[in-house]
Structure 1
Amino acid sequence: MIIVTGGAGFIGSNIVHELNRMGERDILVVDNLAPAPNLSGPKFLNLAGAEYSDYMDKREFRAALKDGDFDSVKVRAVLHQGACSNTLEDDGRYMMDNNFTYSKELLHYVTDQRIPFVYASTAAVYGASTEFTEESANERPLNVYGYSKLVFDDYVRRLMPTFKSTVVGLRYFNVYGPREQHKGRMASVMHHFTRQLKETGTIRMFEGSGGYADGEQRRDFVFVRDLAAINMFFAGIGPNAVKKQVHAVVNAGTGEARTFKAVAEALMQVHGPGKIEYIPFPGDLKNRYQHYTQADVAGLRAAGYAEPFTSLEEGVRETFAEG
């Protein structure tokens, strides 16, 4: 069995579909399908057409872990994508329970059972830093989401010398791709720009901010299928997967920052021409927004992942080829 937490979410559901493409069907999907104010649609639609052997609610799953129900289950790998990823969530108690305590419970289970464990971290740990190497001097989160992820990364790094099986944390940069329509405001700019372009013929992006001109803010946009491939590689799934134990917390991005204007241009190549309008920078994002991100991928490469990344233009084409 392969366990995918957050398996109905954006990245998790793409992992499930990619596992299916590799012939994997014995998958336990764990998620929380309760209504949430930050979601704009139901997550279960992301699993349409997917094949998996079982589903568990996150609360049921955590209780089962605590009770030892999985101790005698043969689990090949755990791909932990489950988290609260709302960067505007200010309830620190809720965020720490979801992103830190839950992750610790899983970590102790997998290390006790010697099961490969690949988990989602985030580039939000870097905050306003302009250096994106996996070093404490660069790790200055701007919100409690980034803080909760950094606390777990640090917990993993402290325990790393004791691990007897693979444990890899992946610091996701700006992820985009199919199956993110439910994410509301937290969806990628590809999703928001596409909706604006189709509805109004105009893409609206922020005026200059953070020292960047209008539309020139830069992000490292990474295609979700590339992240699914990285997860499976370190989990030991697939013919080209890593064959040795890996203990690392590394960046998962392309290593190339692209402007928001470049995103708009790529979308117009797919959806047709439109205009660009610049809007004032939102007040609620001040002091909690990353104007620039670019992954240093040396750590990822050193850990053994050598595959190229999908270009922004190709990733946009693939995303919208699925509708």
Structure 2
Amino acid sequence: MVIVTGGAGFIGSNIIHSLNEKNYTDILVVDNLNNGIKFSNISDLHISDYIDKESFRMSILTNKNFFRNVEAVFHEGACTDTTEWNGKYMMHNNYQYSKDLLNWCIQQSIPFLYASSASVYGHCKDECLEESKYESPLNIYSYSKMLFDHYVRKALTTAKSPICGCRYFNVYGEKETHKNNMASIIFHLNKQIQTGKDPQLFIGSHNFKRDFIYVKDAVSIKLWLWEKTISGIFNCGSGVATSFQEVAEIILEFHKKNEIEYIPFPESLKGFYQKFTKANLTKLKKTGYVPSFKHIKIGVLEYIKSLNPTMKR
């Protein structure tokens, strides 16, 4: 059995999709379906069971042997809202839950692969390396992710089973609709055009550059690291920084539009917003992984076509 926490979420459901393609169907989905719309992410997938995230947590805390014959745990479940400032909730949900699950996996010798975040790099102005000196979280979300990475680094010194973290950069692609404000800029720009609006960008967006990676490429990295039983913390990005302006122009070209509305940068985000990210992939490549990522234009167009199935381009 394979366990996927956050299995009804964006990356989690894409992991399950790829597992299904590899003929894995004995999959336990762990999630919180308070947002019931997420059911659509797994309705077309083959799984063996579903359990609420708190029920799952209590099960492993009270009975270490509750689940047997687990081949791997993909821990994708977390609060990913970077505007959430309830620190008690964030640390309980993202940090303590992750520790409980990691310790259970270590005790049971289960490979543990989890979602870290490139947000830990903060105002990094150059390529981001998987080292503490490059870490400078800007909000409680990124702090919760960084602190767990630190906990993992200590666990790696004694653990006998694989522990592997992927620091996701700007992942985009299918099955992110439920994320609302936290969905990718690609999703939002397309949605604005679909509803008859001009796509909106912050003033100065030609200077805001992020490392965008197609979700299928991110999942490929993760499954490869699992299959090769590799431990460590690795950047999961494309290694290329693309401006929001460039991304918007790809979408405008698809819709045959040419107008962009530029809006003021929100005061609430000043000082807490990453204006640049670019993954250094040296450490990942040293494991033997050979990157073969979709070019940003190809990936965005493939995704946009899936969001506009009735349009012919």
TM-score for both structures, normalised by structure 2:
0.94
Please give the per-residue CA displacement for 1:118-164, whole angstroms capped at 9, x wherever unaligned.
10000110111224111211100000000000000000001211121
Identity %: 45
Task: Give the Å deviation of 1:307.
Answer: 3.0
Give 1:271 shift. 2.8
| Amino acid of the structure 1 residue aligned with 2:220 | A
Task: Report the Cα distance in structure 1 between the residues aligned to 2:50 and 2:175, rounded to whole angstroms.
Answer: 19
Which residue is 1:10 aligned to?
10
- 2-structure distance, mates of 1:204, 1:167: 40
Contact 1:203 1:274 (8 Å CA) reproduced: no
Segments of 5+ residues of structure 1 without an aligned counterpart are 36-40, 209-213, 237-241
Using the alignment, how far apart are the partners of 1:113 and 1:155 within structure 2?
A: 18
Please give the alpha-carbon distance, in whole angstroms, between the structure 2 residues aligned to 1:47 and 1:74.
23
CA shift for structure 1 position 31: 0.3
1:2-55 C-alpha deviation (Å, 9 max, x unpaired): 1110001111111111111221111000000114xxxxx721111121110000
Runs (4+) of structure 1 exceeding 6 A deviation are none
Q: For 1:202, what is the secondary structure of its paired residue?
A: coil
Cα shift at 1:70 = 4.1
Q: What is the DSSP-based 3-state SS (H/G/I as helix, E as strand, rest coil) of the residue aligned with 1:292?
A: coil
CA distance in structure 1 between the partners assigned to 2:67 and 2:17 by the alignment: 27
Listed as ranges, the matches of 1:49-88 within 5 Å are 49-68=44-63, 70=65, 73-88=68-83
Letter in 2 for 1:268: L
How big is the alpha-carbon RMSD for the aligned residues of Structure 1 and Structure 2? 1.5
- In the other structure, the counterpart of 1:320 is 304
Change beyond 3 A, Cα 1:21–1:269: farther
Residue 157 of structure 1 corresponds to: 153
* Structure 2 gaps, min length 5: 308-313
Distance 1:177 1:317 in 2: 10
Give matches, 1:113-192, under 5 Å.
113-131=108-126, 132-192=128-188
Report the residue type matching 2:25 in the other structure. R
8 Å contact kept, 1:205–1:215: no
Secondary structure (helix, strand or coil) at the match of 2:69 reads: coil
Q: Which moved more, 1:268-277 or 1:86-95?
A: 268-277
Residue 274 of structure 1 is aligned with which of 246, 258, 264?
Answer: 258
Partner residue, 2:210? 219
**More displaced, 290-299 or 269-278?**
269-278
| Residues in 1 aligned to 2:65 and 2:186: alpha-carbon distance in whole angstroms | 39
Q: How many residues align?
A: 306
Counterpart Cα distance in 2 of 1:294 and 1:153: 19
CA distance in 2, matches of 1:219, 1:2: 32
